[in-house]
Amino acid sequence: MRPFSNSSPVDAVGIQERADFFTKRSLKKESKVSALYLALRMCDLTTLEGADTPGRVIQLCEKAKNPMPPSVFHALFNDFAGQSAFAQIPSVAAVCVYPSTVAVAARALHGTGIGVASVATAFPSGQCPLEIKVQDVKYAIDQGASEIDMVINRGAFLSGDLQQVYDEIVEVKRVCGSVHLKVILETGELGSYDRVRLASDIAMEAGADFIKTSTGKITPAATLPVTLVMLQAISDFYQRTNKKVGMKPAGGIRTAKQAIQYLCMLYETLGPEWMTPDLFRFGASALVNDLLRQITKEVLGIYTYDKYFSVD
């Protein structure tokens, strides 16, 4: 492991000013519609509750395949046939569930191209022995997971045992093989932009395919400044290694307006090559309905009730 104590310090004032700049951006109509469709394709739908049931997972998978139910699509199209028609509403990128329900999701999504992601490694705390974390990951993959979302051990990180954090990610990536590994930093517990940058560097150096802000269980979760710190870490890593690492802000992104701000920041920080679900995701189930609502507004000129598309 390289000496991470030399990880680049973060200009906190500069980061906040730069992030604030993106909250003032606006897009013209055609560009806005394209951004809304892209954001929808980048969403991961998630259910990570103790009360999850196979029925709940199947329902979520149906929404992943058809974010706008066909009956709603046809009703809107028929009512407003004289106006511009919708482009085909895309499916989302993945469905994220606990390992115990991966098999249910894998069956429901078979042949769709939608990923089956599973949290593992003692989500959300990350507090268990490495051998149990490895078993957790192996089980999820055996059940059909195509993506693994692991959490770093924040206790080890905050106590300065960076080698343990690095070694655990290396071992989990070894077990994952070709299965994509997203490493969750849980930035709300790290305490500073410098620590977020350091954790990002460790995760990428250890083999992460994606770095992810949050579990969604801690506040604050994703924010524009924290995401910008991580995007800049990805940019520096790419310049040094020529390896593209993906980014996933998760938690607290609920509106299409916020999603567009993140996409503008992504484009201006990493460029057009990262404007794809292969390299950028939103961990924001609540976002999907507002994206559909805004698409309807832009295409048909009407606002719909946000739960017109589904009640989650």
What amino acid positions are annotated as catalytic residues?
149, 212, 248
CA distances from 230 to 106, 157, 162, 189 (A): 30, 17, 18, 15
Torsion angles phi and psi, residue 43, rounded to 5: -80, 140
209 Cβ contact partners less than 8 Å away, ≥ 6 residues apart: 180, 181, 182, 245, 246
Using DSSP's 3-state secondary structure scheme, residue 54 falls into helix
Q: Where are the beta strands (DSSP E) in 175-301?
A: 180-184, 210-212, 246-248, 282-283
Using DSSP's 3-state secondary structure scheme, residue 43 falls into strand
Beta bridge partners of 115: 94
